[in-house]
Amino acid sequence: MNHSTTLSLLSSVAMAPRDPILGVTEAYNQSTHPDKINLGVGVYYDDRGKVPLLDCVRAAEAALQLDPKPHTYLPIDGLAAYNKAVGALLFDGCTALAEQRVVTLQTAGGTGALKVGADFFRRFFPEAQVWISNPSWENHAALFESAGFVVNHYPYYDAAGNGIDFAAMLEALEHVPTGNIVLLHACCHNPTGLDLDEGRWEQVLGVIARRGLIPFLDMAYQGFGAGLAADGKVVRRFADGGLTVFVSSTFSKSFSLYGERIGALSVVAADADAAARLQSQLKRTIRTNYSSPPEHGARLVATVLGSAPLRAMWEQELAAMRERIRTTRRDLRLRLEALAPGRDFSFLTRQSGLFSYTGLDKEQVRRLREEYAIYTLDTGRICVAAVNSGNIERVAQAIATVSA
């Protein structure tokens, strides 16, 4: 093939659509509107609209600077101290952990964990299909499809009542073929903000066990819902539920370490031997993707989780972020109810975590963008943590008007 043939081949590549989430930030960044607001991406902002640098992270950074180290490669599965700390955080008190049936591998964010898991499953279970909630984080379907899977949806959101259609969800799971992979949001469901209660989780666990399905729990927002321990309960329950479980987790949000890409993939296996074999294969998957993960975020998290005072500081800071989100939900609901009397905005305080699924449709979202320079996802998901005392009035006015 000569040079000009290659050029013409590549010139037929079409423009990709903007990413449904990060593309909103791109559009927001391009706007020159002086009062533009980005409610799109799932990032925690403080009341001044800034991404916080947590004090615990600042302290860990200072400690690391006192003991500078050369930047050599980490092992394929990451920093051992980090993996141990993550395992202890996620599986605290679990029999599976005590029985050494859990392996944790450091990954490039939660997305990296999902991708490593997806590539692994595709290699060993090429016939399996993937089931995700309808709706789900937009990247779930894209990521599993790009790993080669057929992705199906199980019902989740009930638009009429802004709640969960649990009967339909359970019924759908009852018909998922054995050996298929079911992706579940362990807490703070993205995008709806609606989580199952304990009794419903037990029923889901029951179906998954009975039908021989493989649960892949995605936990990106531990600590943003009801608290660190309460949000982690589902992962611990599944870990001790007698199943092989995959868990993706990240410290992007809970440590405000977005750019460090610091996450983990954990696997709960049948026994220690199976855990070691799975770990060896997952390491091959990582090696052929990006070889080994970056170091700095892992050192920061390991330093904080490995020090009692820094960990206490982190838990306090996480609690403050959670509280601010809760207060903002309440305030936004009150403002909207004042602006649009008789309309029901109770979903704001029924949902939890970073997101609210507002029920706004694509056209209403377009109006928010074009008439108010308020950017959010076409699905109507908003990031509650992007609302603050400086913009809440404008956000409420805009939502009340476009949804009237």
Q: What is the set of active-site residues? A: 137, 218, 253
**222 or 279: whose CB is closer to ligand LMR?**
222
348 residue type, one letter: L
Q: Does 245 bind ligand LMR (CB under 6 A)?
A: no
Question: Site map for ligand LMR, 18-47, x if CB under 6 A?
Answer: ---x-------------------xx-----
Q: Does 137 bind ligand LMR (CB under 6 A)?
A: yes
For 112-244, where are the E strands, in sequence order? 130-134, 151-155, 157-158, 163-164, 181-185, 214-219
Q: Does 190 bind ligand LMR (CB under 6 A)?
A: yes
Q: Does 135 bind ligand LMR (CB under 6 A)?
A: no
For the CB of residue 327, give the shortest distance to ligand LMR in the complex, in Å: 21
Q: Which helix (H) or strand (E) holds 262?
A: strand 262-268
For the CB of residue 383, give the shortest distance to ligand LMR in the complex, in Å: 7
Distance, in Å, from the CA atom of 73 to the CA atom of 294, rounded to the nearest integer, reads 8
**41 or 97: whose CB is closer to ligand LMR?**
41
For the CB of residue 329, give the shortest distance to ligand LMR in the complex, in Å: 17
CA geometry: angle 182, 75, 68, nearest 5 deg: 125
Positions in 344-363 near ligand LMR (CB under 6 A): none
For the CB of residue 184, give the shortest distance to ligand LMR in the complex, in Å: 16
Distance, in Å, from the CA atom of 144 to the CA atom of 129, rounded to the nearest integer, reads 9
Residue nearest to ligand LMR (CB): 42
Contacts of residue 97, Cβ cutoff 8 Å, sequence gap at least 6: 87, 88, 91, 239
**114 or 275: whose CB is closer to ligand LMR?**
114
306, 363 contact by CB (below 8 A): no
Residue 204 structure tokens? 């889901």
Distance in angstroms between the alpha carbons of the first and the last residue of the chain: 60
Residues that bind ligand LMR (CB under 6 A): 21, 41-42, 137, 139, 190, 220
